Amino acid sequence: MNVERLFQDFKINESGALDPESLKHKLEASGLLLSDISLKNVQHLIDNEKIDLKFFKKMVSENKTLRKALTGDLVIPRFDLFAEEITRFYNLTKNNCEGKVSSSIPWLGTVNPDYYGISLCTIDAQRIDLGDVNTSFTIQSVSKPINYCLALEEHGEDTVHRYVGREPSGRGFNELQLNDDHLPHNPMLNSGAIMCCSLLQSNKSSAERFDYVMNYWQQLCGGNRPGFNNAVYLSEKENADRNSAIGHFMNEKKIFPPHTDLLQTLEFYFQCCSIELNCKAISVAAATLANGGICPTTGERIFKPETVKNCLSLMFSCGMYDFSGEFAFSVGLPAKSGISGILMLIIPEVMGIAIYSPPLDSLGNSVRGIQFCKMLTNKFNFHIFDGRINRFGKVDPRNKNTEFTHRTQKVQ
């Protein structure tokens, strides 16, 4: 790496110092936020110091993110071109007005169907925010993969899977049915998610258990405290027939851990579903999963790699309701959708994406969310089996020499 040449790429003023704005601009074009922890120190120096070559050399040697940004070694090297494409997809999908806002819980039906936000965060904390990314919504089923992770972290894989299976159930398979071992098929179905809730901090008080989950979400999202939508929670509780049926059925089969209080478990489950976040926050949580359990904006490890591996495996095979099989085949990425219209997508070792658009298709997934995902992996080689070598046809945005020429796309 030739630091001198990097230095010379910037506008240099007469005193031999580089123009702070041009450095800031360079970093922002890479999708980085100067306010992120990884660059906080850099921002301070830019704002307060005269950056001559010597100082520049020191800065570059001391800050890894800065260095990667300047040398094109961030996970998406040509981020500006990539962002252009994402924006194009956003605008194209915005025209799609199909689908219907869920009314399975009355309160959800009142939401503005036009909300549309996409946030993206790479494992190097490069970001894109498009549309209504600050609008909060309840996470609903997106709580499931995280609660599964929490159960794994607390009890280990073996114990957790004595209580819940880890395979897709087959399309159209009623959640009231259990698998051959008389367990819920997997943690992404309501039955399995209720089971995971029963496992979390079971000897704590209700308040402590909920706080425990909230703390984890806060860390996953890079530090912002999630909200809680009490109206939705009450609405869920009052319209709980399906989940009550599931819970009582499981209780009758005596498959819950000993001493499980069914009603309290159901309430805990509804509370987890009623946590409120926005696209920005969820994209960071998604990036944390993409990053093997380390939050890319704080650098903190939240989950063990093994936990993340298991979670992504089940998101991949079971995360999109009855569309899971088709999604795994055609998009080929771990994801989880919720009936509020959120779709959380993981591109392992690359990025996390949060898409929020309330109108759902008949299988309960966000219409625009699905379309966006298809466009994404149709253009880029992100499908888990796309591979990066000996391939043609798709663009590899992880490659700094890749060309982003548009090829004609075919997405239903």
Contacts to a second copy by CB under 8 A: 123, 166-174, 176-177, 179-180, 240-242, 244-249, 251-252, 262, 291-294, 301, 305-306, 308-310, 312-314, 316-317, 324-326, 328-329, 332, 334, 348-349, 383-394
CB nearer a second copy, residue 43 or residue 239: 239
Comparing C-alpha atoms, which of 190, 114, 98, 91 is closest to residue 356? Answer: 114
Least Å from the CB of residue 235 to a second copy: 15
Question: Can you tell me the distance from the alpha carbon of 396 to that of 405, in angstroms, rounded to the nearest whole number?
Answer: 11
- For residue 175, what are its two tokens? 């959640």
- Separation CA 305–CA 313 (nearest Å): 12
Rounded least distance, CB 40 to a second copy, Å: 21
Q: For residues 278 and 244, what is the distance between their CA atoms, to the nearest angstrom?
A: 28
Task: List all residues 6 or more positions away from 5 whose beta carbon is below 8 Å from its beta carbon.
Answer: none
Rounded to a whole number of angstroms, the minimum distance from the CB of residue 285 to a second copy is 15
In angstroms, give the least distance from the CB of 223 to a second copy: 19
Closer to a second copy at the Cβ: 186 or 340? 186
Given the complex with a second copy, which of 147 and 357 has the nearer CB atom?
147
Nearer to a second copy by Cβ, of 51 and 289: the residue is 289
Residues 6+ apart with CB under 8 A from 241: none
Of 117 and 293, nearer to a second copy (C-beta) is 293
CA distance 73 to 90: 26
Of the pair 43, 244, the CB lying nearest a second copy is at 244
Q: Residue 291: name the closest of 222, 226, 244, 223 by CA.
A: 222
Least separation in angstroms between CB 81 and a second copy: 22
Cα–Cα dist 130/91, whole Å: 9
The burial class, CB within 10 Å (0-12 / 13-18 / 19+), for 301 is middle
Q: Which two tokens stand for residue 57?
A: 């050399």
What minimum distance in Å lies between the beta carbon of 403 and a second copy?
A: 17
DSSP secondary-structure letter at 291? T
